[in-house]
Structure 1
Amino acid sequence: MARFIDDDELNEQFQRTLTAAARGGADLGEALAVASRITPGDFGSWAAEWTAAAGKAQTEAHASQEAGDLVSARRAYLRAAEYYRQTFFFARTDLDDPTLHSAYAGHVAAFRAALPLLACSTTPMDFERDGIAVHGYLLRPDGSDLPRPTVIAPAGYDSTAEAGYSVTAVSALERGMNCLVLEGPGQGGVLYTRRIPLRHDSEAVITPVIDWLLAQEGVDPDAMILFGRSFAGYLAPRAAASEHRLAALICDPAQYDFGAAIRVRLGEANWARLQSHDPTLDADLAPMLADPGARNGFEWRMVAHGVSTTSDYLRELCRFSIAGIADRITCPTLALAGEGDFAGTGQLATFADALTAPVTTHEFTAAEGAGGHCEGLGQDRLDQFVYGWLTRTLADRQAPVTV
C-alpha cells in the first residue's frame, strides 16, 4: 500500500480521495497538500483539514459559477462534496456528533449544486414505505428516452448515494449506461438523519428500488445490473437471491457468510460464548478495540447496525449470510476479490461454489496495482475487467436464439 499519511486507518481512507480524483471528484495536488497537514492518529486533525479544504473548494465553486465558468464550478463542487465526505468519515461513531451533521449536509449540498452542471441527466429518488427508506439518484448519459442498460449501485458500509457518483456512476456513464446510486437502511443520510439501521434482508430494499426504476424512462428492463461494492458485496447477492429481474450481478468483494468468518476469527471457545450470550465476553474482546483506529472502526459499524456492544455487533453480523439461498440467484454473476482487501472474508471460492447460475471469478493483485479494498488505486483495471465482462454478458443475453 502506498503511504501518504503515516497512519494505517487515515492512509487507507485518504486513498479513496485519490481514486475520486481519477474520476474528477478531487484534485491530486490539493488532496496531497491536505494529507501533508494531517497529524497521524489524530481524527480531529483529519476533520479540521478536510473541513477547510471543503469550504475553500465550495467558495471557489460559487465564485466560478457566478463568473460563468461552469466547468470549474462543477469540478469544485465535486471536490467539495468529496472533502466533506472525508470530514465526517471518522465522526460516525455518534449520530449526534455536530461534525457528522454539518459535514454530511455540506457533502449533499455540494453534490446537488454540481448536478445541474453535469453532462448527464439526473432524476432524484427518495421514498419511504413499510419502514424502508431509500435515497439516491438515477443518472443517465443524456436526457433522451433511449432504453439503456442500468447499473444499480447500492452504497456500502460507510458510503453515501452522492459518493457513488465518482465510485461507480462515472464509469457506467462513460460507457453509455445509466447508473442508479442509492443508500438504504444503515447507510448515508438514511442512517445519519433518519436513524434507520442496516438490515440483513437487502431484498426488502432492492425490490422496491427496481419497482421504482422500471417506472422511469430510458431504462431497459432486460438489462438491469446490480453492482455491489464493499459491504454491498454482500447486500447485492443477498437481494439477487430473491430478485430475478436482474440481467447480471457483480460483487466486489464477493461476501458469503459473515458468521463463518467471525467463527474463524474468534475460535471455537469464544464462538460458543458468543452464541450463548456470555456476559463476560465483551471484556475479553476489549483488546480488539485497543487501537484507536480499530475502536473507531468497530464503533461506527455498531452504530450502523443499531447496537452498542462488540458481542451484539458480532451476533448481528452473523445474520448477514447467503448460505442456503445462494443457489436462488439466477443471473450471470461476476464475483471479485482483491489481494489484501480487509473487507474480504476469504470466501470467494465458497461463494462461487454455492451458485447454480453462471459465475465468473477473478482476483486482482497488488502486483498489477489493484490490491487493497475494492482494488484500491487500480480502478481503471477494475473497470476494464468489469465492463468487459458485462458487455459480453449482456450481448449473450440479447443474442437471438437459432434453431
Structure 2
Amino acid sequence: MRVHFSGRAFDYQTLRALAYTTFGGAEPGEVLATVERIDDGDTEAWYDEWRRTAARVERTAEEAREAGHDRTARFAFLRAHTYYRTAEFFLPTDDPRRRPTYERSRATFRSGTALLDVPPERVAIPYEGTTLPGYVFASGGTGPRPTVVCLGGFDSLCEELYFLCGVPEALARGYDVVLFEGPGQGAPLREEGLTARPDWEHVVGPVLDALEGREHVDESRMALVGVSFGGYYAPRAAAFDDRIAACVAFDHMHDLWRASAVETPRLARALLYAPDRLVNALAAVGGRFSVEARWLLSNSRWVFGVDSAAELQRTLREYSLTPVTHRIDCPTLVLAGEDDHFVPLELAEEFVEDLTAPATLRVFTAEEGAGEHCQVGNLRLATGVVYDWLDETLST
C-alpha cells in the first residue's frame, strides 16, 4: 500500500503514523501536510518537519488545556506524541536530538492520557536490580477482570502501543490493559542501556508477578499481545510461563534471522560463512544506498548491543521460536499480512503448523487495506479480530 513516498522506508512510517488516526493518535491532514514538505530519503527534513508539526500540535494542546477544553487538549497531546515519535525515528542512535525528542513524545503522551476519564497508573516493575516502566489502564467496574499485557518489539515505544494495540477498544470491552517496555526498548534502552535478550520469559515473568494480587486482576485470564518483534517475545514467554491464558502474535515473528534474509536468502546463507570483514564491508555499502538498510543496521546494533553487522547476523539466529514452540500450551492467535515486507507469510504458516496448542492464523489482505506489517492500514479490523478472539478464548 503506497501512501506518499516511492521509497519503502519513508512510506511505511507515514502509513504507521496515519494508522493511529483510528484511536486518536493522528489526523490525516496533519500527516499528509507534513510529508508533503519532505523529499524522499531526506532524513534531516524528516526530523525537522515532523518535529515542526509535533511542536505546533503540542502548542494547540497546551492552549486548549489552559482554556479548560480538556477533550481538545487530550487528543492534541496524543497526536503530538505520535509526531514526536515519528520525528525521532530515523535519527542516528547517537544524535543529540534523539533523547530530547523521545522525551517530548513521552511527555505529551502522559499529558494526554492524564486527561482521560480514568487516567492510567504509571508503574515501575522490579526487574533484575532496576525497574521497567509501564502503564496500567483500568476499564472500571467491580470484581476481577481479564488483563491484556501488551508488549512492543524492535522500535516501538510502550506509549505507541496505546494506539497500535487499540487500548480504547480493549477498555470498552472490559479488559484492563498493561503497557510496558523491556530491555532493547524505549526508556530501558535509552536511559539505562539495557539491550535486547532472547529469553523474554525473564522479562514478562516479573510483569506477571507484579500483577498477581492486584485488585481487579483475574489471574486466570491474563493474556499477552506482542506487536511486531513482540510477536517473538510474547510466544517465547508463553512457552515458559503457564500463567498466560492466551497469546497473540500481532504480527508473527517466528524466526528473526530467516525474516531478515527473506529478500536475499542465498546471499544471507553465504554470508554466515563469510569473513567478518566482508560482511561488514557489504553492510556499509548497502547503507550508503538505502535509507532502510542504513537505519536497520544502525538501530539493530543499538537494540542488540552489538558492534558490527557480522556480530549482528550471529545474534539474530538466537531469536527463533522453533526450539520452544512445542512448549506453548495456551491458545495462540497469529496475525499476518500478505504484503508484510518484514516477515514472510510462510513463516507464520510454519509457526502455526509447529504449535501443538490450539492455534488460529488470520491472514490480512491488501484488499482489506490490512496487508502491511502489523495491519497498520486497518487497525480497526485488526484489533477487532484480536479482541473478538480474546472475548471467545477467555470466556471459556
Into which bin does the TM-score normalised by the smaller protein fall?
A: over 0.9
Aligned residues between the structures: 393
Deviation, 1:6, is 3.9
Contact kept in structure 1, 2:250 and 2:374, CA below 8 Å: yes
Q: How does 1:384-403 map to 2 (within 5 A)?
A: 384-396=384-396
Distance 1:304 1:366 in 2: 31
Residue 190 of structure 1: how far off its partner (Å) = 1.0
Q: Any idea what the Cα deviations from partners look like across 1:104-131, whole Å, max 9, x if unmatched?
A: 1101111111222112341112235325
Bigger drift between 243-252 and 293-302 goes to 293-302
Query: Helix, strand or coil for the counterpart of 2:395?
Result: helix
8 Å contact 1:134–1:205 — kept in the other structure?
Answer: no
Residues 148, 218 of structure 1: 8 Å contact kept: yes
- Are 2:125 and 2:134, in contact at CA under 8 Å, matched by a contact in 1? no
Distance 1:264 1:49 in 2: 33
TM alignment of 1:341-352, pairs within 5 A: 341-345=340-344, 346-352=346-352
Q: Residue 278 and residue 55 in structure 1: after superposition, are their counterparts in 2 closer, same or farther (change >3 A)?
A: closer
Q: Name the amino acid aligned to 1:254.
A: H
| Residue number in structure 1 paired with 2:204 | 206
- Give the 3 Å change call, closer, same or farther, for CA 281–10 of structure 1 in structure 2: closer
Residues 111/284 of structure 1: CA separation in 2 closer, same or farther (3 Å cut): closer
Structure 2, gaps ≥5 residues long: none
Structure 2 counterpart of 1:38, which letter?
A: I
Give 1:90 deviation, angstroms: 0.7
Cα distance in 2 for partners of 1:264, 1:2 equals 21
Please give the secondary structure, in 1, of the residue aligned with 2:350: helix
User: Match of 2:161?
Assistant: 164
* 1:128-164 deviation digits (Å, cap 9, x = unpaired): 532564211011123x553211111111111111111
Query: Which 10-residue stretch deviates more, 6-15 or 189-198?
Result: 6-15
Q: Does 1:222 align with 2:220?
A: yes
Q: Match of 1:163, as an amino acid?
A: E
Q: Does 1:307 align with 2:302?
A: no
Task: Identify if the C-alpha distance between structure 1 residues 61 and 269 changes in structure 2 by more than 3 Å, giving closer, same or farther.
Answer: closer
Q: Percent identity?
A: 36
Structure 1 residue runs of 5 or longer lacking an equivalent are 397-403
Letter in 2 for 1:216: R
Q: How does 1:4-403 map to 2 (within 5 A)?
A: 4-91=4-91, 93-94=92-93, 96-130=94-128, 133-142=131-140, 144-168=141-165, 169-261=167-259, 267=265, 271=269, 274=272, 278-289=276-287, 290-345=289-344, 346-396=346-396
Cα distance in 2 for partners of 1:263, 1:72 equals 45
Of 330-339 and 253-262, deviating more is: 253-262
In structure 2, what is the Cα distance between the partners aligned to 1:277 and 1:203?
Answer: 34
Answer with 58-67 or 260-269: which moved more.
260-269
TM-score, normalising length: structure 2: 0.93
Is the CA contact (8 Å cut-off) linking 2:201 and 2:240 kept in structure 1? yes
Shift, 1:282, TM fit:
2.2
* Whole-angstrom distance in 2 between the partners of 1:366 and 1:264: 20
Q: CA deviation at 1:25?
A: 1.0
What CA distance in whole angstroms lies between the structure 1 residues aligned with 2:7 and 2:260? Answer: 26
* Contact 1:119–1:141 under 8 Å retained in 2: no
State the TM-score, normalizing by the size of structure 1: 0.92
Distance 1:268 1:379, change over 3 A: closer
